[in-house]
Amino acid sequence: MATLENVSQCVLDGDLDEIKVLVQALLDEGMDPIKIINEGLIAGMNIVAPLFKSGEMFVPEVMESADTMNEGMKIVKPLIMDADMPSKGKIIIGTVNGDLHDIGKNLLIMMMESNGYVVVDLGVDVKEEDFVAAVKKHQPEIVGMSSLLTTTMMKIDSTIKQLIKEGVRDQVKVIIGGAPVTQEFADDIGADGYSEDASTAVDLCDRMMD
Ligand code: B1M
C-alpha cells in the first residue's frame, strides 16, 4: 500500500515513473489531493532543501526531485480545478529577472487557479519590461512576483519602479513572496502584500479583491 512517506521519498529519489504510480494509488484509495500535495510532494522537497544547502545533494539531483514533484502535481492538478467556478479576478505571476526557481510559483498558480482566479503565467527570469508589457496586455487586477534568491530580491523593487515609470502601478495590486522575502521588505519597496506560502497568498488576494 502506498503512503505519503513513499511519495516524499520518491521526490527525494527523483523517480519520475514511480511517482505516477504512488500518487495514483493514493488517489485511488480516496486520499484528498491537497493532502498529497502538502504532506507528500512538498514534504519531499522540504527534505531536499537542507540536503542541497549542506552540499549533500547537487544541482542535477535537485532538478530531478523538482521534476518528480511536478510530475506528481500534473496528476493531482486536474482534480482540484473546478472549471465551472466563476472568476474572482485576473493575476499575472512570474519569477523575477535572473531567477529560475519555479516550484513555489507553480504551486501558487495551481492554488490561485483552483480558487477561481484566472492566471497568466509569465514563467521564470521575467524582465521588468516584460511584467509591464504583460500588465498592459492582460489588464490584471494583481501582479505576483516570486524571488528565491537574495541576489534577485531587488528585481522586485526594480520591477515596481518600472511599473511606476510606465504609469501602470496604480492599476494593479502587487503581491510578492519567496524564501528570502519578508513583510518588512515588502513594506520597504512599496508592495501591496506579502505572503509566506501559496495558501495565504490566495487569502491575501481574496482580501484585495473585496
Ligand atoms: Co536553488 N537556491 N539555486 N535551486 N534552491 C535556494 C533558493 C537556496 C536557499 C538553497 C540553499 O540553501 N543554498 C539558495 C539561495 C541562497 C540565497 O539566495 N540566499 C539557492 C541557490 C544558491 C541556487 C543557485 C545559485 C545554485 C547554484 O547554481 N550554485 C542556483 C540559482 C539559479 C537561478 O535561479 N539563477 C539554484 C538552482 C536551483 C535548482 C535549479 C537546482 C532548483 C530549482 C528548480 C526549479 O525551481 N525548477 C533549486 C531548488 C529546488 C532550491 C531549493 C532547494 C528549494 C526551492 C523550492 O522549490 N522549494 C532552495 C532551498 C530552500 O528554499 N530552502 C534553493 C519548494 C517550494 C514549494 O518552496 O519556492 O519557497 P518556495 O515557495 C513557497 C514560498 O516561498 C511561497 O509559496 C511557496 C509555496 O508555499 N512563495 C510565494 C514563493 N513565491 C511566492 C510568490 C508569492 C507568494 C508566495 O506571491 C507572488
Residue type for position 57:
M
Cβ(99) – ligand 1 distance below 6 Å:
yes
Please tell me the distance from the alpha carbon of residue 189 to that of residue 50, in angstroms, as a whole number: 29
Cβ(122) – ligand 1 distance below 6 Å:
no
Per-residue pLDDT of the chain (210 residues; tens, 9 = 90+): 899 999 999 999 999 999 999 999 999 999 999 899 889 998 898 898 789 888 898 888 988 998 999 899 899 988 886 655 668 899 999 999 999 999 889 888 877 886 789 999 999 999 999 999 999 999 999 999 999 999 999 999 999 999 999 999 999 999 999 999 999 999 999 999 999 988 789 899 999 998
Please tell me the distance from the alpha carbon of residue 124 to that of residue 23, in angstroms, as a whole number: 27
Instruction: Give distance in angstroms: CA of 20 to centre of ligand 1.
Output: 24
Please tell me the distance from the alpha carbon of residue 123 to that of residue 132, in angstroms, as a whole number: 14
The reported pLDDT for the residue numbered 115 is 75
Q: Going by CA atoms, what residue is nearest to atom 66 of ligand 1? A: 104
The reported pLDDT for the residue numbered 52 is 83
- Chain centre distance of CA 62: 17
The reported pLDDT for the residue numbered 42 is 86
**DSSP label at residue 154:** H
Q: Is 0.90 surpassed by the pTM of this model?
A: no
Give which of 97, 153, 147, 88 is closest to 127, Cα–Cα: 97
Query: In the sheet where 89-96 sits, what is the strand order?
Result: 117-126, 89-96, 142-146, 173-177, 193-194
What ipTM score was computed for the predicted complex, to two decimals? 0.98
The reported pLDDT for the residue numbered 5 is 97
Instruction: Give distance in angstroms: CA of 53 to centre of ligand 1.
Output: 11
- Chain centre distance of CA 145: 9
Give which of 120, 138, 118, 124 is closest to 178, Cα–Cα: 124
